[in-house]
Copies of this chain bind each other. A is one copy, B any other.
Amino acid sequence: MSNKPDWVKALKPAGLPGTEILAAERKSSPIDVDGLAAFLFTQPILDRNHRILEILQAEPVFDKSSNYFRGRTERIKAALARGKRLQQLTELHGWSAEEYQVAYDLIGEPTPYGLHAGMFMVTLREQGTPAQHRLFLEKAQKYEMIGCYAQTELGHGSNVRGLETIATWNPHRKTFTLHSPSLTSSKWWIGSLGRTANHAVVIAQLIIDEVSYGPHPFVVQIRDLQTHQPLDNIYVGDIGPKFGFNTMDNGFLLLNNVEIPHENMLSRFSRVDALTNKYIRPSNPSLVYGTLTWVRSNIVLRSGAVLARGVTTAVRYCAVRKQFRRLDAASNSTSGTAETAVLNYSMVQYRLLPLLAATFALHFTGQNMIQLYQANQAAMNGPDRSKSNADILLAELHASSCALKAYTSTVAGEGLETCRRACGGHGYSSFAGVGSLYADYLPTLTWEGDNFMLTQQVSRYLLKIARQVVSEVDVNSSTHAAPGNQFSIHTATILANYRTKQSDTKVVPFDILGDDTSCLVDAFAWRVAYQTFEILRRHDDEGASWDSLLVSFWRLSTAYSQYLVVRNFHQVLSHPTAQISPPPRSDTMAVLHSLFRLNALYCLSNESSEFLTSGACTAKVLDTLREERLLPLLSEVRPHAVKLVDAWKISDWQLDSSLGRADGRVYEDLFYRASENNPLNDIIFDPSPNSTTLFKTRSSRGPSSKL
């Protein structure tokens, strides 16, 4: 809006400025923000992230000020330009894959190249032979070949074995014919396919001599390298707008008997022998297993950081926003005449501060997953370990990554929406920045294993271990790993412990409110073991069908995840010196201990019936938990809330939120965005229902238009 009158320019927000409010919040807490941030991330990583942020902020193409106003076509156009510049900067600065990812996250929205870097190149590298690396990967690295990963179909997602696309081996011509036999066999949801890619790794059922050998990966060129038009017998396009993720061209693909050379089947693991026309089985299928575990572990790690963006916005805004005077004790009289910060209300604390605690719990859990994965990979390649040991360790890692992927992405996704609502009416504005983050994050709950589907795999593993415990097979002795060792199968340990202690009435209930916080971890472990053996009894002894147990599996997987999260947070606080960076000051560590209790007890309170049923806690303790423990914990954490979110070191540029501004100037920013940039304000409506025009006058952006 042009011509803002002087009297408007002169207006200031009423009351104490947000800047002063947040300054006072920061002054009143002793939290060592920089020390805590280094403890979370390490100082070199923080420095690196800051360096990348400065590079991006200096580039006009990454300017975010129009993001919230754009329609889909404009948004994807901007995203394409940004993707190009990101790749140029990656070249220029020689960024590693990790640094590229940091930049990608800071830009804050997917680019149409996302799946080229994230999946196409990874698949070529991991599933291609050295010869195929030369043929495809080298060109992909130079963006001479731009690709995507085409697995999901219109009719099939999670059930990969049900995919309909076929790749038939032609024994005489030594080629494969790829074909989409039905409408439902159309590839669908494939990121970077709709408009960007000129190649695809297509997952298709391999058919040799009329026998199907299951899904395999094939490299297929889909668009001309010069004109970028689809090749003959290829029908490809964008699948249309989505709830979020609209800067990505998720696409569809139909293939009409497209013939490709023998060398286009990625054949590091299994292949077709061109001489004998025979299928050669994969040498080690568990390696593929490993990649999935890696992808899921990264989702776990990212969940804390994503949730932290919503919590940062909500905590800062709820500290600045004042509403109502607070009612005093029994009298119901109000204390003074000043309104109080929304964050001072116990109801708001109860919604937000457990999520603040969860950001740390999820972050440490994600770090632990990544470390375990890396250590295990190293050990698998080492000389000492037999294949069977490696397999069971990988199975444990796989199960916990499935459980935690499902649980932590649900907590983060639903937590973002809780943060948005805690911002009241303004949370609904695009300028809050939380709604778009939520919408873009939601696919994480479905992809890489639907969050409900995964819980079956987790339960299958827990039942398997439980059966070994019942048969008195000592899994840990066979892996030569002592309990507590990072390579121990601690699922076996907690199940075996439960079996041993089950009849000992002195063991349960646990003293969850006592000084020894390991009792809290034990209570979570006990509940997992109780549920595992209950389900084992119903399934193995009583013959309950698999389908009838699906809800119980979901509950079990959730219980297992909550145990892992509580355990990981506990481990970090018990051995803070084991982290890469030194622990922050003791006053800061004390607040982390409060966050640990808050996270564990809030979770326990919400799931209290399961802790009661399992005997881990008594009804008496659970009944008073909320009033006598949780509310005091919320009061303990409250003064540090703003500095705790500061320690996440999320820049204003990344947040892109009026409400989450680090300087507290929320009202000025909302007003500025609404009145300065908003293209709708350039259009003059003709409001009469009976007029034949929609707009009064022609303006720069909103042309006059007939009905």
Partner of A667, one of B154, B539, B552, B609: B154
A72 at the interface (CB under 8 A from B): yes
A239 and B687 form a contact (CB under 8 A):
no
A442 at the interface (CB under 8 A from B): yes
Given A88-B689, A685-B228, A81 contacting B182 (CB threshold 8 A): no
Interface residue tally on A, bucketed by range? 35 or more
A445–B418 Cα gap in the complex (Å)?
Answer: 12
CB of A60 to closest CB in B, whole Å: 11
B238 and A674 form a contact (CB under 8 A):
yes
B233 and A7 form a contact (CB under 8 A):
yes
**Cβ-closest chain B residue relative to A154:** B667
A687 and B446 form a contact (CB under 8 A):
no
A553–B447 Cα gap in the complex (Å)?
Answer: 38
A143 at the interface (CB under 8 A from B): yes
Partner of A435, one of B243, B249, B619: B243
B184 and A667 form a contact (CB under 8 A):
yes
A417–B154 Cα gap in the complex (Å)?
Answer: 21
Copies of the protein in its oligomer: 2
A209 at the interface (CB under 8 A from B): no
User: A503-522, CB under 8 A of B: which get 1 and which 0?
Assistant: 00000000000000000000
Complex interface: stretch among A311-319, A327-335, A382-390, A566-574: A327-335
A238 and B681 form a contact (CB under 8 A):
yes
> Which residues in chain A, 411-440, are within 8 Å of chain B measured between CB atoms?
417, 420-421, 424-425, 427-431, 435-436, 439
Question: Contacts of A80 on B, CB cut-off 8 Å?
Answer: 685, 694
A240 at the interface (CB under 8 A from B): yes
B183 and A547 form a contact (CB under 8 A):
no
A84 at the interface (CB under 8 A from B): yes
A543–B613 Cα gap in the complex (Å)?
Answer: 33
A19 at the interface (CB under 8 A from B): no
CB of A511 to closest CB in B, whole Å: 20
Given A421-B445, A619-B613, A667-B154, A685 contacting B73 (CB threshold 8 A): no
**Cβ-closest chain B residue relative to A235:** B8
Partner of A162, one of B244, B323, B424, B694: B323
A35 at the interface (CB under 8 A from B): no
A197 at the interface (CB under 8 A from B): yes
Question: Contacts of A220 on B, CB cut-off 8 Å?
Answer: none
A547 and B327 form a contact (CB under 8 A):
yes
Partner of A77, one of B83, B113, B540, B694: B694
Question: Contacts of A668 on B, CB cut-off 8 Å?
Answer: 183
A138 at the interface (CB under 8 A from B): no
CB of A402 to closest CB in B, whole Å: 15
**Cβ-closest chain B residue relative to A161:** B324
A72–B240 Cα gap in the complex (Å)?
Answer: 16
A689 and B197 form a contact (CB under 8 A):
no
A309–B552 Cα gap in the complex (Å)?
Answer: 29
A225–B417 Cα gap in the complex (Å)?
Answer: 42
Considering the complex of A and B, which 9 residue pairs feature the smallest CB-CB distances, nearest first?
A: A71-B71, A243-B435, A327-B546, A87-B689, A347-B550, A14-B182, A329-B545, A11-B183, A241-B430
**Cβ-closest chain B residue relative to A8:** B235
Question: Contacts of A691 on B, CB cut-off 8 Å?
Answer: 84
A15 at the interface (CB under 8 A from B): yes
CB of A135 to closest CB in B, whole Å: 20
A4 at the interface (CB under 8 A from B): yes
A245–B428 Cα gap in the complex (Å)?
Answer: 10
A157 and B674 form a contact (CB under 8 A):
no
**Cβ-closest chain B residue relative to A546:** B327
**Cβ-closest chain B residue relative to A539:** B330
Question: Contacts of A631 on B, CB cut-off 8 Å?
Answer: 548, 551
Partner of A240, one of B68, B70, B155, B227: B68
CB of A347 to closest CB in B, whole Å: 4
Question: Contacts of A69 on B, CB cut-off 8 Å?
Answer: 72, 240-241
A345–B546 Cα gap in the complex (Å)?
Answer: 10
A157 and B11 form a contact (CB under 8 A):
no
A228 and B13 form a contact (CB under 8 A):
no
A482 at the interface (CB under 8 A from B): no
CB of A243 to closest CB in B, whole Å: 4
A-B pairs with beta carbons under 8 Å apart, 28 shown? A5-B235, A13-B184, A15-B184, A73-B680, A76-B680, A80-B694, A84-B689, A159-B339, A197-B687, A198-B687, A228-B687, A237-B674, A237-B680, A237-B681, A238-B680, A238-B681, A240-B678, A242-B429, A243-B436, A252-B674, A326-B546, A329-B545, A345-B550, A347-B551, A350-B551, A421-B445, A424-B446, A609-B622
A576 at the interface (CB under 8 A from B): no
A351–B554 Cα gap in the complex (Å)?
Answer: 12
Given A345-B547, A674-B238, A421 contacting B446 (CB threshold 8 A): yes
A31–B472 Cα gap in the complex (Å)?
Answer: 54
A683 at the interface (CB under 8 A from B): yes
> Which residues in chain A, 160-215, are within 8 Å of chain B measured between CB atoms?
162, 164, 180-186, 188-189, 194-198
A540–B13 Cα gap in the complex (Å)?
Answer: 39
Question: Contacts of A245 on B, CB cut-off 8 Å?
Answer: 428
A124–B129 Cα gap in the complex (Å)?
Answer: 77
A223–B71 Cα gap in the complex (Å)?
Answer: 29
